[in-house]
Amino acid sequence: MGQNIGCEYTSCECLEYAAVDEKTLEQKDEARYRQYIQQKESGGMIDLAGLPKRFPYHKKKAGDDRYPQTLQYFYRNERHPIYECNVNCRCGPICKSRVVQKGRRVPLTIFKTHNRGWGVKCNEDLIAGEFIDTYLGEVITNAETDRREEEGTHDKSSYLYSLDKFVGDDPDLTNDTCYVVDGQHMGGPTRFINHCCEPNCRQFTVSYNKHDLRIYDLAFFAIEDIPRGTELTFDYADKDEEEEEDAIRKRLAREADPENAGKSRCICGATKCRGFLWT
């Protein structure tokens, strides 16, 4: 650590809960890892301490400061939670795992779209895996969320973000006990990022202060190279990608279903558009 080797080459305790690197599992670890898988499937407590972990970030061109640390494809594709080092780690502030906690580093512009209200774009090229910004807002309880919706003072489809990533990992954490981030009245530029069924960004959970199942950062990363000036979008429902033929067939079926008549229509214009925002 003193030679700035970095936590990607060490057994860093900050990655205790991070995704396991199955490729580097030693034979003595395999039985314990299988036990962990069984515990996870049955909803039991998770214990990953001591197993080799996947480091979340890498640099496109090592040693070249023009390129930022980017999120590994393993995390981008599987949506694993991201764990960064914190102030108690011996690695120091220059550790390569400290990305989201340092805040936004790219210039964003809020602009008026032609048919979807406000939108957000970046003023420089983004590369796949590059961190963009976090989603900010009031952290409120689920009960307070329900109260605001009942009073009719809140647009649910636009600004509410439930912190429910870890529901099922702990018996005390349910959809009713999760916190919700409300960005309607206060927040940052990401509150204006529009939905798209074929997005160029994706949201991930990031923890670096402690492993708190109820509180963590919501961070947006580019999932493909994005030319500057391109509108940034993400999938509000965070669905897995479908084949084009399947997506079109399902959209036509939804549009023909009378039960969807009153639902919010999606106007993202993507080839694989699902037709409705919350389906």
Q: Tell me if residue 83 is catalytic.
A: no
Q: How far is CA 273 from the centre of its chain?
A: 21
Q: CA-to-CA distance for 87 and 63, rounded, in angstroms?
A: 25
Q: Which of 155, 161, 104 is nearest to 137 (CA)?
A: 161
107 close to 123: Cβ distance less than 8 angstroms? yes
71 close to 129: Cβ distance less than 8 angstroms? yes
Beta-ladder partners of 147? none
Residue type, 169: D
For residue 154, give both structure tokens. 């809140």
In which residue are the tokens 């990953």 written?
48
Q: Tell me if residue 236 is catalytic.
A: yes
Catalytic residue among 83, 161, 216, 236: 236
Q: Which of 198, 65, 67 is nearest to 129 (CA)?
A: 67
Catalytic residue among 36, 75, 83, 135: 135
Give the catalytic positions in this structure. 135, 236
